[in-house]
Structure 1
């Protein structure tokens, strides 16, 4: 209801605003039209009166009125009239008012024509006045009678009189100007009438809009009142239906809250609400099912963790408890645990160390070779195997009453840190859900981790048992060897020290193995990097330096290239771990750091745990290390073509770092990747250069005015120019590559051409500018000028033949014609000589 009231209020406001805007627009349009047309209305009559007055004064001045002045009374009026017309044309303000720039092209044309007509009128007036000044004179001449006496004096006037050419031209220009003024007045009146009609139309629209709006408001108020009465009745009925829906909703929500997700809701008046509640119930049921699965997995992980922690009596007991728990918890019918046995020398096997079926152990002994059967295949691939169609003779689940094949078989490798210790196999009459398989994989990872720890503990236990056994033997001989007690005690102390040392070595070796595995994984990712493989130099260096910083936990890592003279190092890429930024372009000169460059030229790996005191790096202490607080440095060179090409530099700030063998080996591997990227970059550059050179060479060959081709040592075409491609009937030289003469239009002569090519290649001698005569199947004769050259490599071996030819048939015909004509001339000469004699 509130929304409807707001809508109606907004509608009323909008309608009122539109009507108010329309009325204001009509009022402002009326004022604007009046102000715009007022100067134009008075323009025509004002200019017409001014010019008419100036015309009358000019005629009186020409008639001899001495009270008038041409410059003051005539030209001033004409000039002011022209100025008024010009300002009206330009849309400026004058004494008649402010003229706006008119968009009416016809008005502008009439005013412009009026200005031109006024200029002509003014020019004609000036000519008449000038003529009058030059030719109108007053002279007194005597008139004599027959006796020669003066009788009277007469005034002789010369010049332009009324009805003369200048007077007629002046009157014609005046009439033309008056006509233009009348045309301007008529046009402006028509324009004003059009504007008045437009304003009148807008006024009627405003009036009609007010009437329509008033009628609309009355009808709307009536409908609102009737609708309000109807709404009250409908709301009462709806309220009763909603009370029923509320009761149904209350029961539905209470059932959901109690965990009854199978409850159904009665049909409500609002069907969308019913669908929404059903959707909510389904989502809650799915969430409860997901929680059950998640809790099931979490509980299983916790229980297997407890078993792995508490079963420490022996490995057999541990394996039995593991397989028993996994089979029961996953509700499987049978299970087996296969552990890798590495004590058989070179041939490792998977031994069945524990199995469980139908609540009773099955003491079996079974060995599986790596890659043999599903167990061996699962171990070798390192991935789970889940079968829903189990082979008939692979496995059977037995009981006291019989046996049957399972419906599902699941094999999961016991893998941790990319190392596999064995395989767990489960079989069931049902099927395993995806979340159950995920749990088994997580359990397998925990079991593998425990097996790794148990094996280490087992080795330690065996060592301890042997030590204890030796101690017992020594105590049995205590009486007999009392004199050697001190030596025995010393020996025992040494054994304990060695034991601790061995344990420390085992721990260190384990740590190094973990670091090495991580380094190998990172190196594998770098090796697969697209930028490193493709030789994208900058991107590859950014990837390598950032990876080294993250893997070795160093502050800065950079790659420097060494000049061919080994006197300058250039910073190709520097990665700063803290800012995650890259820099490049700095240079180091051998003359500034001779000790460091000497170590580089020896291709040494510079390991400076204390960079400030190391002989190879202490030259940087004052100017470089102290400013950046660098304490440790590790440099590993990378090579190209068997020579040092640069160095990878790792720098640790704010504290010293003890570089390990794993760090050095990792950096050496990264140096190999830098070499690969560097060589690939150079190869790409060479390929681009060769492609450019090949395109340039092809352009040059295409512009040779002869047909050019070349073949490899197997006489297959490897390229040609545009003329030869046209002769061969192909679109481009690329379409010719790999073909032979047998594929060409001249295949009938292919054997002869190939024999000629082989002769040139075998003799290693060029055949230049040989004229050859050809006769085609139609008996037509043609001549070609042919040249062939053997192409040899840097080892002096002939690897191709280059040929070119030019059709000289027309030239041969001309030479034959010239020779024939010379023979005729020679015969004529002989005939003339014989007649002379």
Structure 2
């Protein structure tokens, strides 16, 4: 019994030991499998989320988000993802846990392919960022001379970045999609391995269960608990994967909505609350940036449009002011506005209402405000804006056809530039003005004030020029008087011998200056008569003017530069070099590179630099330009167009300093006037060509009207007609009728009647449409004409011409008379039949 018990004990112990070893093996295998697979389970989702975040931030950075940094926010995320994958491949420990060296070749291959795909994605991102940085850089090098002294044009290097939808953008998206597919493949493969390990453990568990059932119920219970624990662990892992999948779906929808511009999208609750809060913060920041961009674009567009209005030539200042106030009121969505301009012609300064919008009786509205009177006068005196949200009753009323009411907000902004105030602009609205709208109105007021300042400065310049011309006349009279005095001095030569040397020196200097002036006038006369200058042949005229200036003033180089409307860029229209007698063009100068020089140009100064290397306005060119070409002296004179500076004539002298004289400056000013003439003539020629084309188009349209059309001026002389009218008049073309009257036409017998009818239409200012007229010629033949006449008025409401159309309807009238006759015959027949019936 003891032996059996011992045997049973040994057997039972052996079985128990075997079962214990089996249970220990199953337990250790489960733990080791869990520890080995746990880092791999979180590897795919973690790296995938990191790269998705880096991809999102990189796209926002490429879109212009200044809050992100490429090195800090993009490369760091990509590099950390790469380090995690590399440590998993090498079997090292990282932030996700301890990675055992995998003996599964397919897992190693997938991780290696993911690393290669991530490297391509990172390389493409760096290339796109490099192109974007190069797109912001444009390098301009000043002109230099080669060994022969010829001008070498500076090279302009421009880097163009890869835009959205380009090759790099598509390559970047392809690499990103490829990497995501690799991660999905890795996640699926790891899940397969986990399921395989779980299946193996499940088999061992069932073996342990069978052994426990045969041997020990207690071991069976323990094995059951172990299996239940294992099932619970698998279930938890599955729930965790489902939760992460839901989070990835929510993140994907949120990111797609943000990318589509929907900044009001909400994010469902995530397991990672920090990630959710970060994404919501990012959404709010993007929404704020979009709103800021909208406001900034609105302000920039308003400034550009009002600048276009200020630059556009109008027939009168009244129309200009009306256009300004109309644009400001409509653009700011105001309901009413007025423009007050300072009137300095009177003894007491006052603000005159020169333009208004949406006021009652606008045509007859005249208003004058004394400085300091009311809100407008107070705004002028203080030089600061006034913004009221509580407008006093009966101060101003916004009316329409159905009624009127007081506005909710009133804004008054002074027209101020350089601390000088030229007027006040007043706006009223039923709503409220935002801060950015008020800032735009202040900028617009500054632009309007600058225009008014320029107009008044030009008027002052004109007055000064007239005074200068008057003084020149007086000087010429004095010169003639001096010549007479010299003749008298020659008669008394014996008395004045001791002063002869001094007087002779004065005469020699004056004679030399007169000779220079005579030569200058001669050159100017030749330039004035030049056909290219007169006809506006721009390039040929500039070549003639620059070469003449170099020869007359004995300077090394002469060039003509044009300035753009923003006054931040000068373009070389033509440069003449005396040394090799060559012409070049195309170089540009930027205001940001030479601020002092551009400031002098903005003041419209004449720059006289005997020593160009030390002059305040030109010394900025010393290092990059003057030293290279050995330029010592410089003289710049501006030329103008429509009262504004349009460019500058630049004279440069090399190798030695040149002392510029008054004769040189006056000569160059006269040449500047010729440049202005050539420029204006060129513009006029372009306008005439466009007008001729429009005239030919209009004549073609009129020629195809199926009626005879003509028009006469106030003296009733024919100014034009269509082809049908010319044929009626016996002419081959409408040009043969120009200047003729009805007395010169085949219908001269009826000329008085036609002219009286034309004068009646012009005097009454009323059109006569489709009037039937009966005519009888000398042979007694009757004809009918359908005539229409309309008075033509100009923009001032004055009648300047009469437009007429007529059509021969004789055949139609004859048919109508024939029909009427037949109707009468029918009526008579009808009466005869009725009488016979009765």
**TM range, normalised to the smaller chain?**
0.3 to 0.5
Q: Which has the larger radius of gyration?
A: 1
**TM-score of the two chains, using structure 1 as the length reference:** 0.39
**TM-score of the two chains, using structure 2 as the length reference:** 0.39
Task: Return the structure number with greater relative CO, CA threshold 8 A, min gap 6.
Answer: 2
